[in-house]
């Protein structure tokens, strides 16, 4: 275990909450900095850069969740976060100095791998928070993580347009060092017990999957919702940059600003989860996502207002359900929150990739209506998982 949880939450001071919120947002931002820079990277390294660089960073992040996050259950998370942020600074500087596409892709893989420090911050919050307010505390830290995703693209696009893509990575390296200093100054030290061997730690993940039905259901439900989310966002630019809207890439990117509301809903969802339990919040969030695709199907091809409303509903629903699902799975096995987090987010990433593929194929075969059908099927399945669980519990 990384440390003995404080049942009264005395270790979770305001300073620690702010520190974890900044760490979560500042770390996860690094896997999204490259997206607004792809045109600049293609101009220097060729067309392959548009696929290779963002894919490498996302694959690295997934590997970090799988391979590094479980270590938080065996070693002090404070030290892990510090080491990952320092390593991240080195990887970002290496990216800025990359002489060719191969070295940039390798650096991007390392950036994603070490940026999984964001997923150390969330279970750390769950460990430090008292039981009665765990949902709200997790929601606050997740607000930082979600805001980091949103702000990364905006800041990167501005800096890249004025100073070039290398300046973005140099600046990000400096920010990573600042965040490492914040971690050292704000995060509490937790008592360490005898650490688990790494092999035993990883094998125990399979044991958790087998023995924790709530974890399986929460992961499946959230994975289906995340798949519908990716089906939408993968194809949104194709919709709004074509007639009748004819928006530019910058105009299409502005829809991401609406996601700020989804980020702000995280503490609200956590508060309701603390008061009423997770299942009602998950059901409500799933209903929001289903409603979003109904709106997008009805008016997405004729009205930007309908598209904006769909974005708002998807973000509120997905993030609300995520906080509730995180809160309940973190309560299952207090000494295994890192491994529980690994299961939840690994399933989400796998389903997310499948959703992105299904959405893009549906758009090519049947246009926007096809995307909405895929989104309705996926989000409706997530809602069904939540409803069946509720019925089983009631019975």
Integer Cα distance of 340 and 328 in angstroms:
10
Q: What pLDDT shows up at residue 393? A: 53
Q: What is the pTM of this model?
A: 0.80
What's the mean pLDDT in 382-391? 85
pLDDT beyond 90 at 114:
yes
Exposure class string for 186-200: b at 16+ Cβ within 10 A, else e: bbbebeeeeebeeee
Q: pLDDT for 2-44, tens place per residue?
A: 444 444 444 578 889 899 999 999 999 998 888 778 778 888 9
Identical fold between 1-195 and 212-395: yes
Q: pLDDT for 42-101, tens place per residue?
A: 889 988 887 788 888 888 988 999 999 999 888 889 999 999 999 999 999 999 999 999
> What is the separation of C-alpha 227 from the centre of its chain, rounded to a whole number of angstroms?
13
Q: What pLDDT shows up at residue 11? A: 55
Burial class (CB in 10 A: 0-12, 13-18, 19+), 81: buried
Q: What pLDDT shows up at residue 279? A: 92
Q: pLDDT for 211-248, tens place per residue?
A: 999 999 999 999 999 999 888 877 887 788 788 988 76
Specify the DSSP element, H or E, that contains 236.
helix 213-240
Q: CA nearest 104: which of 43, 19, 39, 34?
A: 34
In sequence order, what DSSP letters do the residues of 65-100 get, joined into one string?
HHHTGGGGGTS-HHHHHHHHHHHHHHHHHHHHT--S
Domain ranges of the chain: 1-195, 212-395
> What is the separation of C-alpha 178 from the centre of its chain, rounded to a whole number of angstroms?
22
- Cα–Cα distances (Å) from 104 to 49, 51, 101, 235, in that order, read 9, 12, 5, 27
Structural fold of domain 1-195: Growth Hormone; Chain: A; (1.20.1250)
What's the mean pLDDT in 175-204? 87
Integer Cα distance of 191 and 1 in angstroms:
9
Give domain 212-395's CATH architecture. Answer: Up-down Bundle (1.20)
Widest CA span in the chain: 63
| Backbone CA torsion sign across 327, 333, 339, 343 | negative
- Cα–Cα distances (Å) from 153 to 17, 36, 314, in that order, read 24, 6, 19
Integer Cα distance of 155 and 318 in angstroms:
24
Considering the chain, what percentage of its residues have pLDDT values greater than 90?
A: 48
């Amino acid at each position: 275990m990384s440390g003995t949880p404080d049942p009264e939450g005395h270790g979770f001071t305001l300073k620690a909450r702010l520190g974890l919120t900044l760490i979560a947002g500042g770390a996860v931002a690094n896997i999204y900095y490259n997206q607004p820079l792809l045109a600049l990277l293609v101009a220097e390294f060729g067309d392959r850069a548009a696929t290779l660089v963002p894919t490498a960073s996302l694959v690295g992040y997934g590997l970090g969740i799988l391979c590094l996050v479980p270590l938080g259950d065996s070693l002090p998370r404070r030290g892990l976060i510090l080491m990952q942020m320092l390593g991240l600074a080195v990887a970002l500087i290496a990216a800025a100095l990359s002489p060719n596409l191969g070295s940039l892709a390798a650096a991007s893989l390392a950036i994603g791998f070490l940026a999984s420090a964001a997923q150390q911050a969330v279970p750390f919050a769950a460990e430090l928070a008292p039981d009665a307010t765990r949902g709200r505390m997790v929601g606050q830290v997740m607000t930082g993580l979600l805001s980091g995703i949103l702000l990364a693209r905006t800041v990167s696009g501005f800096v890249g347009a004025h100073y070039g893509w290398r300046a973005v990575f140099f600046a990000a390296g400096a920010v990573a060092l600042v965040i490492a200093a914040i971690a050292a100054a704000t995060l509490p030290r937790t008592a360490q017990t005898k650490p688990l061997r790494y092999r035993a730690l990883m094998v125990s993940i399979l044991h958790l999957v087998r023995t924790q039905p709530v974890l399986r259901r929460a992961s499946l439900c959230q994975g289906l919702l995340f798949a519908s989310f990716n089906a939408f966002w993968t194809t949104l630019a194709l919709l709004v940059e074509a007639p009748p809207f004819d928006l530019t890439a910058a105009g299409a990117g502005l829809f991401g600003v609406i996601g700020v509301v989804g980020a702000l809903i995280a503490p609200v969802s956590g508060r309701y989860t603390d008061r009423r339990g997770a299942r009602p919040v998950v059901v409500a969030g799933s209903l929001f996502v289903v409603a979003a695709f109904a709106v997008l199907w009805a008016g997405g091809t004729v009205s930007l207002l309908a598209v904006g409303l769909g974005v708002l509903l998807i973000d509120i629903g997905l993030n609300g359900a995520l906080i509730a699902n995180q809160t309940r799975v973190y309560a299952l096995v207090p000494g295994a929150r890192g491994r529980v987090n690994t299961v939840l987010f690994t399933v989400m990433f796998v389903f997310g990739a499948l959703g992105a593929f299904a959405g893009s194929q549906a758009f090519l075969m049947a246009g926007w209506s096809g995307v909405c059908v895929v989104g309705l099927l996926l989000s409706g399945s997530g809602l069904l998982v939540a409803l069946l669980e509720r019925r089983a519990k009631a019975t």
